[in-house]
A and B are shown apart, each in its own frame.
Chain A
Amino acid sequence: AQSVTQLGSHVSVSEGALVLLRCNYSSSVPPYLFWYVQYPNQGLQLLLKYTSAATLVKGINGFEAEFKKSETSFHLTKPSAHMSDAAEYFCAVHSNTGKLIFGQGTTLQVKP
């Protein structure tokens, strides 16, 4: 069965600093991995997705993630945090039965 684990339920960075949100997956088949962002009182919005085409995936708003099979990781990064990046971030994997399985979520706080 597929699963994802997000390390760190809360990450705090200063504006302009590097953002690193960690996600590790477990899958017996090649995974389809996603990062979603949820702004306060809104639905989820796709940041980026990995579907085996390229290991470094670029998304919206300057985010990117690198798929590392050897480490079973799909960490999300952004070189320079902006105040508007403060939100809840979810890593997810598609199960082979069609379900999207989410991690526990990481709250990103950006301090001025």
Chain B
Amino acid sequence: DTAVSQTPKYLVTQMGNDKSIKCEQNLGHDTMYWYKQDSKKFLKIMFSYNNKELIINETVPNRFSPKSPDKAHLNLHINSLELGDSAVYFCASSPGLAGGVYNEQFFGPGTRLTVL
């Protein structure tokens, strides 16, 4: 039973299309995240939700819109896809801050998005 799962694993689409990536965690965590890993493997946070509430929103184009229907799910919708959106997108979850200590994040397997 996968702790953090993402669908789809691969996504190939044309420029200008709209697509969504889904993420689910069964760890009971309150906090979920989206990261983007570029072609040089650099990882950068995009968004974070805590109990369905947006708490981190990095300087990401507003074509990217996260949605959290409940605390176990955090989906990422991307409008008007551009070539530069090609990357691997990782979802992660974490208990967050507990006892004054930041806990580790648990990552999903990633979604490789290719925009043609």
Contacts and interface: CB of A to CB of B under 8 A. Distances in A.
Interface of A: 32, 34, 36, 38, 41-46, 49, 51, 88, 90, 94, 97-102, 104-105
Interface string B82-110: 00000000101000110001101111111
Contacts of A94: 102
A29 to B, nearest CB: 11
Main secondary structure of the interface of A (DSSP, over half): strand
Closest 4 CB pairs of A and B: A43-B107, A94-B102, A44-B107, A102-B43
Main secondary structure of the interface of B (DSSP, over half): strand
A42 B102 contact: no
B37 to A, nearest CB: 9
B55 A98 contact: yes
B101 A98 contact: no
A102 B42 contact: yes
Given A51-B101, A90-B43, A99 B48 contact: yes
A100 B44 CA distance: 8
A43 B90 contact: yes
Contacts of A98: 31, 48, 55-56, 96-97, 102
A34 B96 CA distance: 14
The residue in B31, B45, B92 that gathers the most chain A C-beta atoms within 10 A of its C-beta is B45
Nearest to A107: B41
A104 B56 contact: no
Interface string B30-72: 0101000000111111001000000110000000000000000
B110 A42 contact: yes
